[in-house]
């Protein structure tokens, strides 16, 4: 970021949105606190606002120049808060409402990926009331092992690995605690990877090593034994393929700002995109800040860059509207 961009950020009145009503509220509060601390370390004019306490529809946005969105899960990632900010003309970090809504739905984003040739595991969608084939019949079409997870949820909440019919009902019940729409997805056996990117610019790739069967909530945010590796045994041709698959998913979903792509690499060396996260965690356990640090960015650098990108995107959208 150049000096003029830094000066512009320093002059702006910034609101950090954190907390909110979703099941990921506590992680969002941690992310928000990390962002506030990073910005305050550079004397930015920043205020934290929790939408679970403050109604954003009636909030006075007139003194606000810029919003840093650290809301995870529903409302923060599904286009809800983005629509409010777009309607009020307030620049904000992250993707717009349309890309957010598409990407927050695992099934909708997987449909888009399949249409565009991005490799993503075979899946089926089941609703709480079911009203479709019995679970064992659906599972048989996908094949074991498979993963059952909520269609619209993050932080691996409600996610289960299922290896046989007898485990289906319990896994389904865990998933419906977080939503009515459930995804059954073929489990890719191999290694787990994550790619953070800023406006299609990749940050260093990370391989995840954990003793957990899945990279679940505890492995992400609690277990200090989880390893985040930047040095790999895989050849560069394979890791380059992982990065290419991740960036193609980002491109076709139309996301902007900081995103994190979760992938699996199967035993044949083929990458599979699991999902894209439009508001990735920013806690001290989170992967995107670790990738940024590997690239030489402090947390303050990362936050400033995302805010500068939000201003640039807002100007670009305003220019397109005038031209149209």
> What's residue 157's pLDDT?
86
Percent of the chain with pLDDT over 90: 82
* Greater pLDDT, 203 or 156: 203
* 100 among known catalytic residues: no
Please report how the helices 135-142 and 168-176 are oriented relative to each other, as an axis angle in degrees rounded to 10.
Answer: 100
Q: Which tokens hold the place of 47?
A: 């205020």
* 281 among known catalytic residues: yes
Answer for the pair 206, 229: CB distance below 8 angstroms, yes or no.
Answer: yes
* 277 among known catalytic residues: yes
DSSP strands (E only) in the chain: 13-17, 45-49, 66-69, 123-127, 146-150, 160-162, 181-186, 190-198, 201-202, 206-209, 227-229, 258-266, 271-277
* Greater pLDDT, 151 or 217: 151
Whether 267 shows a pLDDT value over 70: the answer reads yes
Whether 220 shows a pLDDT value over 70: the answer reads no
* 286 among known catalytic residues: no
* 248 among known catalytic residues: no
Of the listed 275, 304, 305, 309, which one is catalytic?
A: 275
> What's residue 1's pLDDT?
76
Whether 309 shows a pLDDT value over 70: the answer reads yes
Q: Which tokens hold the place of 228?
A: 């985040």
Answer for the pair 307, 12: CB distance below 8 angstroms, yes or no.
Answer: yes
Q: How far apart are the first and last CA of the chain?
A: 30
- Which tens digit of pLDDT belongs to each residue from 239-263? 999 999 999 999 999 999 999 999 9
Strands 227-229 and 258-266: unpaired
Question: Mean pLDDT, to the nearest integer, of 152-176?
Answer: 90
- Which tens digit of pLDDT belongs to each residue from 59-90? 999 999 999 999 999 999 999 999 999 999 99
Q: What are φ and ψ of residue 265, in 5° steps? A: -115, 115
* 260 among known catalytic residues: yes
Domains of the chain in start order, with CATH, are 3-94 (3.40.50.20), 103-118+189-294 (3.30.470.20), 123-186 (3.30.1490.20)
* 192 among known catalytic residues: no
Answer for the pair 141, 166: CB distance below 8 angstroms, yes or no.
Answer: no
Of the listed 19, 20, 24, 44, which one is catalytic?
A: 24
* 201 among known catalytic residues: no
> What's residue 179's pLDDT?
87
Rounded Cα distance, 157 and 71, in Å? 16
């Amino acid at each position: 970021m150049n000096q003029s961009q830094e000066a512009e950020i320093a002059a702006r009145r910034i609101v950090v949105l954190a907390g909110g009503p979703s099941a990921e509220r506590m992680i969002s509060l941690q992310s928000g606190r990390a962002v506030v601390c990073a910005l305050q370390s550079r004397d930015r004019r920043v205020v934290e606002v929790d939408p679970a306490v403050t109604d954003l529809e009636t909030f006075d946005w007139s003194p606000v120049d810029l919003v840093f969105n650290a809301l995870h899960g529903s409302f923060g990632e599904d286009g809800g808060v983005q629509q409010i900010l777009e309607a009020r003309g307030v620049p904000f970090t992250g993707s717009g409402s349309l890309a957010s809504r598409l990407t927050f739905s695992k099934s909708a984003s997987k449909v888009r990926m399949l249409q565009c040739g991005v490799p993503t595991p075979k899946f089926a969608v089941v609703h709480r009331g079911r009203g479709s084939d019995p679970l064992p019949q659906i599972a048989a079409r996908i094949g074991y092992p498979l993963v059952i997870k909520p269609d619209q949820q993050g932080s691996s909440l409600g996610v289960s690995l299922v290896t046989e019919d007898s485990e289906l009902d319990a896994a389904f019940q865990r998933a419906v605690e977080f939503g009515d729409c459930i995804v059954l997805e073929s489990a890719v056996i191999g290694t787990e990877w994550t790619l953070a990117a800023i406006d299609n610019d990749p940050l260093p790739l990370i391989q995840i090593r954990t003793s957990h069967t899945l990279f679940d909530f505890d492995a992400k945010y609690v277990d200090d034994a989880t390893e985040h590796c930047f040095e790999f045994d895989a050849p560069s041709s394979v890791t380059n393929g992982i990065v290419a698959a991740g960036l193609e998913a980002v491109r076709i979903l139309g996301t902007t700002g900081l995103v994190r792509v979760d992938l699996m690499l199967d035993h044949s060396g083929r990458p599979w995109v699991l999902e894209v996260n439009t508001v990735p965690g920013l806690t001290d356990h989170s992967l995107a800040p670790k990738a940024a640090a590997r690239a030489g960015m402090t947390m303050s650098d990362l936050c400033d860059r995302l805010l500068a990108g939000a201003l640039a995107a807002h100007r670009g959208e305003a220019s397109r509207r005038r031209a149209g």
